[in-house]
Amino acid sequence: MDFLEVVSEAANAVQNRLAAAAICITVLLSTLILFMKIHRINNRSAEKLPPGPPGLPIIGHLHMLGKLPHRKLCLLSRRYGPLMSLRLGSVPTVIVSSAEMAQQFLKNHDHVFSSRPTVRCGKNLFYNSVDMIFSPYGQYWKQVRRISVSELLSTKNLEALRFQREEEVSVMIHSLLEKCARVSNPVVDVSKTVLAVAVDIICRMAFGRKYSDEEAYDNRGFEEMIKEFGFLLGAFDIGDFIPYLGWMDLQGLGRRQKAISRTADAFYEKLIEEHLAQKDVRETRDFVDVLLALSEHNIRRDNIKAILIDMLHAGSDAPSTALEWAMSELLRRPLVMTKAQEELEKVVGLNRKVRESDLPHLPYLQAVVKETLRLYPSAPLLAPHESMESCTVCDYEIPARTRVIVNAWAIGRDPKSWEDAEEFKPERFTESPSSCVDVRGQDFELIPFGSGRRGCPGMQLGMVIVEFVLAQLLHCLDWRLPAEIQGRDLDMTENFGLAIPRAVPLLAIPTPRLAAEALGSSQDQGIK
C-alpha cells in the first residue's frame, strides 16, 4: 500500500468519525431542545394542573409504572391525591383514582373526555383503530356502537340467544363430569375451562358456530392468542409516549402486534369467506352476516374484522378472568362457597341444573360476582380517554389532548368508599348500605365496565356469562383445592394486561353434587 492510499484511508476514517460525532451531537441537541420545550410548557401550566410527583427528563414518570401499573398508580394517588398529574414521556396524563373524580370525568364532563388517543396497538391490531374500543369519538364510532348494540348486545337479542349460552355451559359441565367418572379426584385447570366456555359462547352468538383450536389462529388456538391480545392491549408502549423512539420498538411490542395481527387476520378472513359462501343456504343470520350486509355503509372488510376482534377478545377475556378470580376467592373461603350453594339449592333445587331465568332470584350469588368485580375489575385501568378540548375540572385546567386514565382497580379498593376494602366480603352487597351499589356505571364506587359514552356496551352479556357459568359450576359440582394447597396459601399473584388474569392457572378438584338424572344430557338446557 503506497503513501497516498494510507493517507486516503486515514482521511476516510476521520471523516466517518466526524460524521458519527455530528449525528450524536444532533440527536443530543434535538433531545435537549425537546426537553426544554416540554419543561417550559410544564412550568407555564404547573400551577393549573393537578398535583403529581417530580418526573425525569424525557421519560417523565414512565419509570414509576412498574410491572403492575394499577397498583403503582394507586400508591402514588394515596400520596398526591385522587386526581393526579403525570407526564408519560411527552404525553400529559391525568390519573383518576376515586369515585368522585371518576364522576367528574365520566359524567359531568363526559362530552369532553369521550375520545381515544392514537396508540400503536390500535393501528396494528385493529386496522388503524376502526374498532369500537380504540376509534376516536365521532360519527363512525357512534355508528359502530349502534350496530353492535342493536344487532347483538341488546336485551332482546341476548334473550333470543339464551339457549346457545345454556347449551355451551351444559357441555362444559358434562365435560367435567366425564373427567370425574374417568379419574378419581381429577385436577381441573379452572382457568382454561372458563376461558374455553366463554370463547364458545361468543363464537356461537357472534360467528354462528364454535371453532376448534385446530381451526383458529393458525392452529395456535384461542387461549394463547387471547392471552397475547390481552397482554398487548394492556402494555404501556414507550413508542406511544416518546414518539421519536417509536421506530426503534425498544420493547418489541410493535413486532408482536404485527405478528399476531397477521395470524388473526387469516382467521377472520376465513370466517368472513365462510359466511359469504353460505349466505344463500343459512337458515339464520348472525352478527357477521349483519356486518356484511352493511358493507355499503362505510363498513368495509377491515372494519368488520376489527369489530369482530373486539367482540371475541373483550367478550371472552373479561368474563373468564372474572370467573377465575371468583372461583379463587371461593376456594379460599369454603364458608362463602357453601352459602352460595345453599342459596342455589333453595332457589333451584337439587333436581335440575340452573337456568338463566334463575339468576335474578340469586342475590347472594350476584353479590359474589359484584365483590369479585370490585376487587378484580374487568379492566383495572379503563381504556384511556383523551380530552377533545381544554376543560376545568375541580379548579384544575386540563389541556386539550390530555390523556385520562381511570384506575378502576384503585376505586374499587378505596377505603373512603368501602369498609374493609381489601377483604372479600359479598355480604357488603346484601347486608349493608352498599347493597344498592350496582356495576352498570351509575354508581362510581364500582365501575368495572366503565361509564358514560365509552362505557362497555357488552356489560349485560358479560354479567350474564359470569353469573350463569359460576352458578352452574357451584350448583352441579363441589370444589376443593388439591391437598397440598391450603386456602389462605393459594397463589393470588396477578399478571397485568387488558384484564388482570392470574399469574398461574387455578387448579381445583370437582366432584358431582347433583344426581345423574338431574344433570340430564350435555344438550339438555332445562328450558322445556
* Residues of the binding site for heme: 456
Nearest to 310 by CA among 60, 131, 522: 131
Binding site members: 456
Contact 400, 386 (CB under 8 A): no
C-alpha cell, 44: 407555564
Beta bridge partners of 511: 478
Contact 450, 106 (CB under 8 A): yes
Tell me the longest C-alpha to C-alpha distance in the chain.
102
Residue 397 host element (H or E): strand 396-398
Nearest to 383 by CA among 75, 2, 115, 15: 115
- Rounded to whole angstroms, the Cα distance separating 495 from 67 reads 8
Length of the chain in terms of residues written: 528
DSSP secondary structure, 323-356, as one string: HHHHHHHHHH-HHHHHHHHHHHHHHT-SSS---G
Contact 91, 404 (CB under 8 A): no
DSSP three-state, residue 486: coil
Count Cβ atoms within 10 A of the Cβ of residue 26 and give its class: 0-12 exposed, 13-18 middle, 19 or more buried: exposed
- Rounded to whole angstroms, the Cα distance separating 382 from 102 reads 11
69-75-76-82 Cα dihedral, nearest 10 degrees? 100
